[in-house]
Amino acid sequence: MSNRQIGFKDTMILIPISSKFYLCFYHGDKPKYVKFKSYCFLTEEQTIEINVAILKNSYSKSVCMKEVPLKQNKSEGQGMKSPERNIMVYQGGDVSINTIKKEIEFYKSEEKFSKEYLSIFSEYRSLYEGKVKRNDLCLCGSEKKYKKCCLEIHERCISIYHEIHNQKNDRYSISPKYSVEREIEVFRGPQEEIPTSKDREIFELLKKENLGPMR
């Protein structure tokens, strides 16, 4: 756990007590199967879902007692990407290597929603808005009432749309040092002391590109 988790809207932190039991602390939204002040026994599918979320939010390495969770993550098509880095070369010869923090990844439903938000909202505006009432059959073909089917996800799209378009009316007074997360400095020093072979390889490629000096 780090100060990066503090203050996030939807955060869940798991602290291992043994190989099978964890203490769970959460703030905001959480999976429905994680219940307040209860012993929660997860199914295999639920365990996989949480493992994938943990693995996708790991910066550098993930350690598992068994190899299965790692393979499951890859088999789900949820390929893990290493954090992006930037390399700066100073006129004095020193090199600075920094890790850019990854975008937070959530569960499958969240990831699917973030990718399909625009198409869902477009469908709502063209087919549903002003045409379908709560108790009407949903137009998606589920044969359920709209209020028990697509209404919730449409309301979420509408909320995001209004938040985006109302931002211009908001006024904030925030110190710049609090406005963004700072990148993590991995290394700073002489070129010959770059610690990892991968970073050295990238640095040599940059030199071959004959880039101009940093200003």
pLDDT of residue 163: 74
Where along the chain do its domains lie? 11-75, 85-101+181-208, 108-169
How much is the pTM?
0.42
pLDDT of residue 171: 52
Residues in the chain with pLDDT values less than 50:
1-3, 75-80, 179, 213-215
d(C-alpha 126, C-alpha 88), whole Å: 48
pLDDT of residue 27: 79
107-164 confidence digits (pLDDT tens): 666 667 777 888 898 899 999 999 999 999 999 999 999 999 999 899 988 888 887 7
Q: Between vectors from CA 185 to CA 182 and to CA 186, what angle results, nearest 5°?
A: 145
- Give 118-146 as a 3 state SS string: HHHHHHHHHHHCCCCCCCCECCCCCCCEH
pLDDT of residue 195: 85
